[in-house]
Each structure stands twice: as C-alpha cells, then as structure tokens.
C-alpha cells in the first residue's frame, strides 16, 4: 500500500470530486482490512442478513426522511415563542445550513448513484421523490416562519431587515451610494454569447440571472446576462444608526442592494426580468489511493474543485420567470424537481450575521459561563491523574482543562512524547499551538491529522504544514478510512526513569468553538491498561500493522460492531434468564441495520431499551412483536447534543462506554473510531446522572418517535424539566 504520509511523490496525485461506493476501497494495501471487516460482519447472527425489500420496509425507517425530520425539529425551535428572537433566527439559519449539507452530501450521493446507473432503480427513484416532496415542504415553511413570524417580531423590537420597498428616501440614497462605492466596482456582468459562455458558478454563491431586451453595444441581441456577487462583500449590511429608528438597527442584504440597482449595470439595455439564484453542488471528495502518493499535496491541489462539483439543487426567487428557471436548470443539468422557488433571500443561512451585528442581550439566551474551576486539588494534572481519573462534561465544564493538559505537557521537562488525533480543530487553536511548542522544544510529537474531515480540509492542511515545520511527525491516518477517534497521549519519564502514559479520550472534537456549544464528555486517565491501548491505537495508525488485542477499547473498523452487538446480546441473555435487562444509549444517529436487528431481538427477549438519538434514526420503536420495549427520543435545545454514551446494566455491573462513534455503518466500518469504558464507579454514576437520566426526564425539549416515523414533542403536566437547563444550573456558572 502507498502510505499517505510519504512526502516524495513522483506521480501527479489525484483527488476526485466523484462519489465513491459505500464499500471499503480494495487496493492492495487494504485487502486485509476488507477481509477483516468481512469476517467481522460474518460473526453477526443470521438476523443480520440482508432482509428482503418488503421486510426492510417494515423494519426500518427511511434514513433520508428521518434526516429531514431532524431539521423540522430544529425549525420548531425557530417557531417557539419561548425562545429569544435572535436565537429563533439562529435556529432558522441552522436548519437552512443543515439542509445545505444534506444536499451537498446525502442527496449528492443518491444522485451520483442514479447517474452511474443505466436504469434508475425504482426504490432509488422513490427515495429521491420523497426527498423532493419533504424538502420542498420544509423550505416553504422556513420562509413562512421568516417572513410571517421572526422578521415582523424582530422589527417590533427595533431590528429591521429592509427590502427596497421598505426603505425611505434617505435610506435609499445611502444604499445607492454604498452600491456605487462598494459594490458596482466589483461586479462583472457577463452577457451570454458564443464568446461569453455560461460562467462557472461557485457552490452556494449568490448570483443573478438577467433577461435583457434591445441590442447590445455591437448591435446583437444577447438576451441573457449573469451577475456574480463578489464573495468578498458582506451579505448583511448595517445601515448607519442615524438612518434607523432611535435605539434600533436597520439592515439590508447584498442581494437587495444589487436587485435595486441592477438596471444600472446594463446601460442602454432594458432589463425585462431578473432573479437571484444559488446552486448547491456535490461537496464530497474521495482519493484514488491507487494513484495518490501524498494525501496533503493531493488535497491542496484539488480543494477548489469542490466548489464546482455536480449540481444537486437550484434556488431562485419565487417570482423568477419560468423561462429563466428553465434556462438555469438546463445549464446545471438538473431535473425540475431540484428547483426551489423561495420567498426571500436564496442564501438564508447568511441571516445569522444579523445576530452578530446586534447588541441586544434581551433577544438572546441568558449568558452561560462554563465552570472553569480546576477539577483537581493536586499540584498538577499528572499528580491528580495518578490518584484518580477525571471526567469532564462540556460545555458545562470548561474545555480549558484539556487544553491545559496538552499545554502543561508541552512545557514539562519530564514529558518525552505527545501523540494526538485531530479531526476538527479550526483555524485558531491554543491546543495546536501547544503541540507546535512541544515539537520545537524537542519532544517527540506525533499527530494523526485527518485531512478528509469534510469542510475542514483547508484548516487541517495549514496545521499540517506548521506542525511539520516545527519538527512534529504528521501522518494522515489510513487512506479510505477517516480517523474520527478523539485521542491524546502524553508520555512522561518519572521516578526510577520509568515511562508512564496519560491519556485523554473524548466524544467530541478538539475545537475551541464547538466545545462551547456541543455537549461532549472527555476522560483524562492514567489507567495503565487504557493508556497502553491508546498508545497501541497510535502505533497501529502510524505503522499500519495489526493492533494487539484490547481489553478495554472497542476499535472500528475491527472489533467495535462485534463488541457492541455482543453487549446487546448479553442483555438479552440475562433477560431470558429472568434477570432485568436494560440498555440506554445516546448518540447522533442510529442507522446500522445489524445493530438495529440486535436491538429488536433484545427487545423481544424483554430488554428495556431507551435510546436518545438526536438526528436520523432508522429504528422503528414501539412495534408489537418487533420493538415494543424500545423507546426513542430526540433532544433539541440550546446546545447541540453530541456525546455518545452506551450503558448496559449487565447484571448490575453497569457497563458504561463513551465514544466518538454513532451507530452507523460509516462509523463502524469506514472510520477509525474508539469506544472506551468508564471504570471508576463514581464517574459511571456521573455519566448516568449527567449524560442519560436528565434526558430521559426532559419534558421541555424531548421529541418522541412513534412507530410510523413521526416525532411528537413530549407534553407533560408535571413541572417543566429541561436536561440542558438542569446541567447549566448544576455544573456551570450563572454569571461571569
């Protein structure tokens, strides 16, 4: 196998913006891996065999519709009058952004399969039709909430988003001056003719199509022009305070500014009609590992290609003339069902900028401050970990403890090596700076950097360059398998010159921003066995050799699914023996059919199964004879629920695992993932009391899934109880 971390590439590396199949790439170097995975899958009982289409339809909910349903639940936050107004706008933007990614990744994948097939499979066709119907419904509702609810209420609170007809003469004069000064010089209208073909349109960019009458300067009747909005310009523009009502703030969108002055761009021509438009493109990338020699070089050369992947959706203004919509659909080779006519800005997610430009605390959530107190009383974190493990619950407890763990290690003369996986970490990161400092200080620093973390490739490439210049050893995991596990290891030379390992294992990314808004757990430990196994994972990923057998860790794509199904079956075995069986699991998505079948079987054996699944869920709960002992709920609140927790009663052993992995085929077989146990009894209790039980009690933000795939907001006459609010009150600080 050509390892991805080789630097000397003799052939031109290739990254293709083409959809890969869902199977493991079977290059020479991955044949053993594919064989291992096949062996693992064969260990699953006969209930894991592929069901007939009829059986599958009855047992499993539609993955794509379930994902759209999640965005309906996010949109419900924007409809909730109990949520502050600017937060409601933010939820509206989140739902729109989520839908963008759904098209960029999931719909793009389905359309790619359609394109590769000579004959469209009826089931795929039906899936695409269902997606189109549900997505159109969702988009229509988004703009209804925006136009009929959120914007009018914001206006009543002094926050005005002004369209051209809403602006008074003074405001129009300012906008015109702004257009002439800031916008017009950057615009390059393109009249289409054989010498001026339809331009390349960047993914999700703002553009305009214009229908023209009359002759151009050369006496020809060019009928259509395209205007691309420069990406360097802000999409939301705040008008001067003196042009707004006293104490208020007025805004206009760049799209509105261009709309109002589009006639000025075509001197001597009559603008007959025009519309803003935006195209969403396939944004996934894959590596041809038969040809690539250096993954970083390959990605650097091809990142821009993502902006011009195959089109999957076209958005136009609601009043766009049919002939212009048809013309655009033809240019992007899209079926009419991929057209979305919207009553407002096509770049809806950009409205989140309004919240960043308004200083009205009363329109936001009450400020929350994470608990920043040091969770140990020893002189340093290493002394504390020699006594006991430390469990951190973010964002209620500050992520700074983890940063300090790595920073202290980088400055500690006794530390000889630091190893870390990085999936997402952002453009600015104190933790990454600490790793660079450690390398510069002469410590052995090894970073498993996932370059294929979707939408974070550029940031990760930049960190890769800086780390390597500092002397760190950077590798990019295993080609074809994303390294998604969240691991850090510190090796110190201590008393007697013995080496001792300290580890951090987490459910979320080492990202300074998301750690403030995502709920995640992290474990700091000096447990010799767990720390040694973490080190084995690093050796496995850098050397590409077979890992040793683990006592504690579940490692995907090798043993994770087997261990998980074994734990589920153990609860079923205990239930059949007359003992109570119970499983509680929290995750982002539940889609793996083999795991779902194991849960169905356990349910039929009498195991009580309570699932907290934030997003897509293919399991159909509450069906007599299939899943009557299974309940599924989704929590949508102030923070993004991101932690993965797996609890098995196991005859009062109370096995509790945390993980970076959802119960999805991609996590179990196409990623490097780790699940790790909580061994300390007190910490197990904390995970239960903070990570699971509050969510089962939640009667404010809990949506219950029924057997038909419908989610209903849980209603209760009992005193309101929200899990996130409880955790903020219990773990966080209420003032600065």
pLDDT tens digits, residue range 527-563? Answer: 999 999 999 999 999 998 888 899 999 999 999 999 9
Q: Residue 676: which region, alpha, beta or left (left: phi > 0; alpha: psi -120 to 50)?
A: beta
| φ, ψ of residue 37 in degrees (nearest 5) | -65, -40
Residue 665 annotated in ligand binding? no
pLDDT, greater one: 15 or 722 = 722
CA dihedral 44, 46, 52, 58 (to 10 degrees): -80
User: Is the preceding omega at residue 557 within 30 degrees of 0, hence cis?
Assistant: yes
pLDDT in tens, 75-93: 999 999 999 999 999 999 9
Q: Where are the domains of the chain?
A: 93-363, 369-550, 555-731
pTM of this structure: 0.88
CA distance 640 to 584: 19
Q: Any known ligand binding at 614?
A: yes
SS (H, E, C) 576-602: HCCCCCEEEEEECCECCHHHHHHHHHH
pLDDT at 70 over 90: yes
Q: What is the DSSP letter of 236?
A: E
Tens-digit pLDDT profile for residues 94-121:
999 999 999 999 999 898 877 655 566 7
| pLDDT at residue 306, as a whole number | 57
Q: For residues 598-604, give the mean pLDDT.
A: 98
Task: Give residue-wise pLDDT tens across range 688-720.
Answer: 999 999 999 999 999 999 999 999 999 888 899
Asked if pLDDT for residue 292 goes beyond 70, the answer is no
pLDDT in tens, 655-684: 999 999 999 999 999 999 999 999 999 999
| pLDDT band, residue 286 (cuts 50/70/90) | low
Mean pLDDT, all residues of the chain? 88
Percent over 90 (pLDDT), the chain: 73
What pLDDT, on a 0 to 100 scale, did the predictor assign at position 221? 66
657 annotated ligand-binding residue: no
Tell me the mean pLDDT in the region 458-481: 85
259 is catalytic: no
Indicate the fold that domain 555-731 takes in CATH. Endonuclease; Chain A (3.30.870)
Task: List Cα–Cα distances, 150 to 69, 87, 340, 358, in angstroms.
Answer: 21, 10, 21, 15
User: Which member of 261, 393, 394, 484 is catalytic?
Assistant: 484
CA 449 vs. chain centroid, Å, equals 18
% of the chain with per-residue pLDDT over 70: 87
Give the number of other Cβ atoms within 10 Å of residue 58's Cβ: 12
Strand order in the sheet with 249-253: 159-161, 249-253, 236-238
Tracing tokens 């151009």 back to the chain, one arrives at 216
**Alpha-carbon torsion 611, 454, 253, 239, what sign?**
positive
Q: E-assigned strands of 121-203? A: 159-161, 190-191
Domains 93-363 and 369-550 share a fold: no
Position 495 scores a pLDDT of 83
pLDDT number for residue 41: 38
Residue 141, annotated ligand binder? no
Which of residues 536 and 305 earns the better pLDDT score?
Answer: 536
CATH topology of domain 369-550: Endonuclease; Chain A (3.30.870)
State the Cα–Cα distance between residues 431 and 435, nearest whole angstrom: 6
> What is the pLDDT averaged over residues 60-89?
96
The answer to whether the annotation marks 336 as part of a ligand binding site is no
Topology of the domain comprising 93-363: polyphosphate kinase like (3.30.1840)
Q: Which of 109-113, 137-141, 361-365 shows the lowest per-residue confidence on average (mean pLDDT)? A: 109-113
Q: Could you tell me which residues come within 8 angstroms of residue 121 by beta carbon, excluding any fewer than 6 positions away?
A: none
- CA dihedral (117, 199, 279, 341) positive or negative: negative
Band of pLDDT at residue 38, cut at 50, 70 and 90: very low
Residue 323 marked as a ligand binder: no
Task: Give the model confidence (pLDDT) of 208-267 as tens digits.
Answer: 999 999 877 666 767 899 999 999 999 999 999 999 988 789 999 999 999 999 999 998
Which pLDDT does position 55 carry in this prediction? 39
- Residue 246: the pLDDT is 82
User: Which residue from 467, 476, 483, 547 is spatially nearest to 6, judged by alpha carbons?
Assistant: 476
**3-class SS at 375?**
coil
User: For 661-717, where are the alpha helices, taking DSSP H only?
Assistant: 665-669, 681-686, 693-697
């Amino acid at each position: 196998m050509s390892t991805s971390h080789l630097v000397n590439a003799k052939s031109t590396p290739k990254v293709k913006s083409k959809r890969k199949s869902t199977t493991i790439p079977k290059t020479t170097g991955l044949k053993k891996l594919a064989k291992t995975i096949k062996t693992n899958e064969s260990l699953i009982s006969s209930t894991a065999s592929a069901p007939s289409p009829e059986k599958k339809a009855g047992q499993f909910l539609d993955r794509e519709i379930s994902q759209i349903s999640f965005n309906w639940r996010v949109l419900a936050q924007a409809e909730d009058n109990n949520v502050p107004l600017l937060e409601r706008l933010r939820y509206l933007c989140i739902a729109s952004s989520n839908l963008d990614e759904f098209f960029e990744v999931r719909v793009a994948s389905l359309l790619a399969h359609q394109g590769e097939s000579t004959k469209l499979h009826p089931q795929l066709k039906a899936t695409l039709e269902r997606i189109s119907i549900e997505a159109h419904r969702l988009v229509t509702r988004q703009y209804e909430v925006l136009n009929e609810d959120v914007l009018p209420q914001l206006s009543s609170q002094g926050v005005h988003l002004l369209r051209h007809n809403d602006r008074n003469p003074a405001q129009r004069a300012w906008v015109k001056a702004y257009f002439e000064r800031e916008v017009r010089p950057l615009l390059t209208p393109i009249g289409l003719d054989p010498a001026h073909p339809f331009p390349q349109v960047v993914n999700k960019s703002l553009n305009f199509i214009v229908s023209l009458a009359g002759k151009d300067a050369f006496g020809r009747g060019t009928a259509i022009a395209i205007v691309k909005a420069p990406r360097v310009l802000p999409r939301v523009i705040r008008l001067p305070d003196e042009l707004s009502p006293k104490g208020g703030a007025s805004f206009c969108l760049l799209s509105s500014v261009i709309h109002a002055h589009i006639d000025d761009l075509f001197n001597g021509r009559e603008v007959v009609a025009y519309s803003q438009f935006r195209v969403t493109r396939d944004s996934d990338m894959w590596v041809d590992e038969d040809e690539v020699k250096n993954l970083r070089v390959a990605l650097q050369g091809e990142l821009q290609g993502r902006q011009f992947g195959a089109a999957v959706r076209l958005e136009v203004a609601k009043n766009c003339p049919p002939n212009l919509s048809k013309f655009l659909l033809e240019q992007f080779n899209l079926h009419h069902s991929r057209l979305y006519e919207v009553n407002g800005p096509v770049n809806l997610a950009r409205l989140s900028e309004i919240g960043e430009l308004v200083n009205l605390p009363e329109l936001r959530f009450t400020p929350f401050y994470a608990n920043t107190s040091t969770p140990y009383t020893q002189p340093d974190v290493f002394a504390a970990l020699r006594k006991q493990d430390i469990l951190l619950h973010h964002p209620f407890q500050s992520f700074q403890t983890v940063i300090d763990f790595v920073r202290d290690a980088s400055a500690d003369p006794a530390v000889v090596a630091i190893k870390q996986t990085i999936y997402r970490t952002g453009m600015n990161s104190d933790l990454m700076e600490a790793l660079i400092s450690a390398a510069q200080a002469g410590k052995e620093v090894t970073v498993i950097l996932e370059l294929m973390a979707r939408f974070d490739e550029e940031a990760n490439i930049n960190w890769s360059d800086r780390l390597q210049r500092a002397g760190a050893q950077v590798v990019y995991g295993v080609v074809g398998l994303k390294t998604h596990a969240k691991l850090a290891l510190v090796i110190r030379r201590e008393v007697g010159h013995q080496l001792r390992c300290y580890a951090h294992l987490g459910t979320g990314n080492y990202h300074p921003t998301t750690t403030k808004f995502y709920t995640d757990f992290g474990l700091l430990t000096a447990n010799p066995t767990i720390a040694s196994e973490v080190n084995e994972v690093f050796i496995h990923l850098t050397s590409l050799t077979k890992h040793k057998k683990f006592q504690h860790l579940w490692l995907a794509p090798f043993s994770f699914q087997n261990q998980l199904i074994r734990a589920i079956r153990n609860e079923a075995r205990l239930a059949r023996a007359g003992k109570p069986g119970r499983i509680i699991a929290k995750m982002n998505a539940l889609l793996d059919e083999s795991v779902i079948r194991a849960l169905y079987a356990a349910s039929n054996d009498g195991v009580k199964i309570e699932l907290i699944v934030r997003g897509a869920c293919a399991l159909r709960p509450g069906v007599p004879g299939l899943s009557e002992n299974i309940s599924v709920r989704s929590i949508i609140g102030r923070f993004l629920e991101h932690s993965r927790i797996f609890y098995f009663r196991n005859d009062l052993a109370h096995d509790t695992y945390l993980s970076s992995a959802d119960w999805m085929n991609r996590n179990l077989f196409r990623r490097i993932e780790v699940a790790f146990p909580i061994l300390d009894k007190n910490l197990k209790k904390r995970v239960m009391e903070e990570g699971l039980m509050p969510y089962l009690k939640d009667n404010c933000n809990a949506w219950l899934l029924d057997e038909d795939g419908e989610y209903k907001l849980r209603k209760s006459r009992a005193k309101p109880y929200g899990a996130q609010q409880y955790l903020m009150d219990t773990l966080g600080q209420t003032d600065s």
